[in-house]
Amino acid sequence: MPVPAATSTDAPPRLVESIGYSVTAGGKRLRPALVLECAIACGSDASNKSAMASAAAIELIHTFSLVHDDLPAMDDDELRRGRPTNHKVFGEAMAILAGDAMVTLAFETIAVDADPKLVPALVKELAAASGPAGMIGGQVLDIDGENQNLALPQLQRIHRMKTGALLTASCRLGAIAAGASESQLAAITMYGRNVGLAFQIVDDVLDVTSTPQQLGKATNKDADSGKNTYPGLIGLDASRAAAREAVDAAVAALSDFGSAADGLRAAARFVVARQF
Amino acid sequence: MPVPAATSTDAPPRLVESIGYSVTAGGKRLRPALVLECAIACGSDASNKSAMASAAAIELIHTFSLVHDDLPAMDDDELRRGRPTNHKVFGEAMAILAGDAMVTLAFETIAVDADPKLVPALVKELAAASGPAGMIGGQVLDIDGENQNLALPQLQRIHRMKTGALLTASCRLGAIAAGASESQLAAITMYGRNVGLAFQIVDDVLDVTSTPQQLGKATNKDADSGKNTYPGLIGLDASRAAAREAVDAAVAALSDFGSAADGLRAAARFVVARQF
């Protein structure tokens, strides 16, 4: 008996809807913006197909992490980007599967749309930043650290993995897509690490100082759930100073880049400017 | 302040343990065997590094799907491969994250270890077979179909996506790794689809006719949870006949291959031979 091939029309409409619900929910789009700006800083232009594919892929990975982190078994959140979380609308099983599908779609996008010569480096970069030594590992440490008193180096490790790895990868993907030199890639990496650090400190600060309406998600969540934060460990003023120091270091890393990196400089400033 | 890079030593030991628990739990290793046997059938040898990477990657994807399918929000299983399921040992949050990590590790393995020229095709093949139009989409349809009376074509669609897509991809990955010709790839694809069909029918039959000790997981699970199966729709005898017909079609697809495909012929016979 003939067995037909699977086709893209086989994708269940409700699954496609669940994926679309979270992917189109808005958000700052910081990671894809960093991909494209880093490509531009390294001499490419906005039409670079490898940068476009990487930008889409990293937003899919980021959104997958939000959908899974919000699950009842994890952070148990009901609000995300101002809307009910995915599992509140589609149920837990669908939210798990929609998140899973975003990961496969991310890698498929790079494999299909990026320059074939760059695909190995791009896939490796994205996978390593997302995996056990990156974002997913950071989420494990974050959950393990709840209701424990962490020292600053432990908190910094969680931040570096959970948020920093993917932000740094966003920058590196853009540089790789542009065919950056080794020294360009090193500078972009230093920029990305410092922007990632500043971003997470600001996130911690905003959780303390904002309303749910401003953030589009629950606030004071970290203190309520016993999570360790920068303000909790070193206070609000020192946290703000540390964020500004990281932004300065990020901008300083771009000293050898000309005006093509102005977008990246503005992005670094934006990280500490939002409601800070 | 200097921000260090993430390194593989950052991976949390408990996460690594959770991944290892499921990946090393045994199982038939049918999918990696199909990758390697298809590479050999297409003229390669067992040391082909792209086939080895693909074999590891597809077992990671398969294992991820088992860990997530067993979750309380999905099939809620307590036993897998004769051992407690991952979430029973490590908790739900860790099981979700370990499954997620297996997906990123699968793609990282191909990106790092396969022939760079073949990486785009291998990643595309694996991602498409795993995603919304393949395995993950099939799991959505399977859950949706519980406690509904499905017609045979609907059941076949679920099988084709949930199990068939990844089994077919196993075969195609091996062929691609071996640099197969178009006609070889078409024959291998036809072989894979028919083996996949036979495999799922046999799985349905075994669920009815085996003990939990024989299968290493709960039996009569499908009928209990209102799932549709081949025996339920067309009876045990017709199911066995359909499985044998699919195996014959799989073997027939290999008619242009010589003795290098003997392993594949044996694998097809093995599918219907196990406790059947």
In the predicted model, residues of chain A with pLDDT beneath 50 are 1, 6, 276
pLDDT given for residue B234 in this prediction: 92
* Structure ipTM: 0.92
**What is the identity of the amino acid at A30?**
L
**Any chain A CB within 8 A of the CB of B8?**
yes
Q: Which residue of A has its CA nearest to B129?
A: A6
Q: Are the beta carbons of A124 and B112 separated by less than 8 Å?
A: yes
Rg (CA), chain A: 19
Q: Among residues 92-111 of chain B, which lie with CB inside 8 Å of chain A?
A: 92-94, 96-97, 99-101, 103-105, 107-108, 110-111
Rg (CA), chain B: 19
Q: What CATH fold (topology level) applies to the domain B14-270?
A: Farnesyl Diphosphate Synthase (1.10.600)
Query: Residue A104 and residue B127: Cα distance in Å, rounded?
Result: 5
Length of chain B: 276
Q: What are phi and psi of B226, to 5 degrees?
A: 75, 20
**Any chain A CB within 8 A of the CB of B62?**
no
Output the CA torsion sign for B110, B116, B119, B121.
negative
Which whole-number Å values give the CA distances from A260 to A70, A155, A264, in the listed order?
37, 34, 8
Exposed e or buried b per residue across A148-169, where buried means at least 16 C-beta atoms within 10 angstroms of its C-beta: eebeeeebbbbbbbbbbbbbbb
Q: Are the beta carbons of A157 and B197 separated by less than 8 Å?
A: no
Mean pLDDT of chain B: 91
- Kindly report the pTM of this predicted structure: 0.93
**Any chain A CB within 8 A of the CB of B234?**
no
Q: Are the beta carbons of B133 and A10 separated by less than 8 Å?
A: yes
Query: Number of CB pairs < 8 Å for A and B?
Result: 222
Q: Are B184 and B50 in contact (CB under 8 A)?
A: no
DSSP letter assigned to residue B45 = -
Q: Are A104 and B131 in contact (CB under 8 A)?
A: yes
CA distance A50 to chain B (A): 12
**Any chain B CB within 8 A of the CB of A185?**
no
Q: Which residue of A has its CA nearest to B90?
A: A140
Convert the pLDDT of each residue in B115-170 to its tens digit: 999 999 999 999 999 999 999 999 999 998 887 888 999 999 999 999 999 999 99
User: Which positions in chain B touch A108 (Cβ < 8 Å)?
Assistant: 123-124, 127-128, 131
Convert the pLDDT of each residue in B192-212 to its tens digit: 999 999 999 998 898 888 766
- Place B3 in a pLDDT band, splitting at 50, 70 and 90: low
Q: What percent of chain B has pLDDT over 90?
A: 76
pLDDT given for residue B119 in this prediction: 98
Least confident of A24-38, B5-19, B95-109, B110-124: B5-19
pLDDT given for residue A147 in this prediction: 76
Question: What HEC string does chain A produce?
Answer: CCCCCCCHHHCCHHHHHHHHHHHCCCCCCHHHHHHHHHHHHCCCCCCCHHHHHHHHHHHHHHHHHHHHHCCCCCCCCCEECCEECHHHHHCHHHHHHHHHHHHHHHHHHHHHHCCHHHHHHHHHHHHHHHCCCCHHHHHHHHHHHCCCCCCHHHHHHHHHHHHHHHHHHHHHHHHHHCCCCHHHHHHHHHHHHHHHHHHHHHHHHHHHHCCHHHHCCCCCHHHHCCCCCHHHHHCHHHHHHHHHHHHHHHHHCCCCCCHHHHHHHHHHHHHHHCCC
Q: What CATH fold (topology level) applies to the domain A14-273?
A: Farnesyl Diphosphate Synthase (1.10.600)
The residue of B22, B65, B97, B157 whose CB has the most chain A CBs within 10 angstroms, and thus the best one to mutate to test that interface, is B97
The beta-carbon contacts of B211-216 under 8 Å, at least 24 apart in sequence, are B212/B79, B214/B275, B216/B79, B216/B80, B216/B81, B216/B82, B216/B83
SS3 B226: coil
**Any chain B CB within 8 A of the CB of A153?**
no
Q: Which of A59, A171, A109 is nearest to B120 (CA)?
A: A109
**Ranges of each domain in chain B:** 14-270
Q: What are phi and psi of A27, to 5 degrees?
A: 95, 175
**Any chain A CB within 8 A of the CB of B246?**
yes
Q: Are the beta carbons of A131 and B68 separated by less than 8 Å?
A: no
User: Which positions in chain B touch A20 (Cβ < 8 Å)?
Assistant: none
User: Which positions in chain A touch B196 (Cβ < 8 Å)?
Assistant: 3
Q: Are the beta carbons of A196 and B3 separated by less than 8 Å?
A: yes
pLDDT given for residue B222 in this prediction: 58
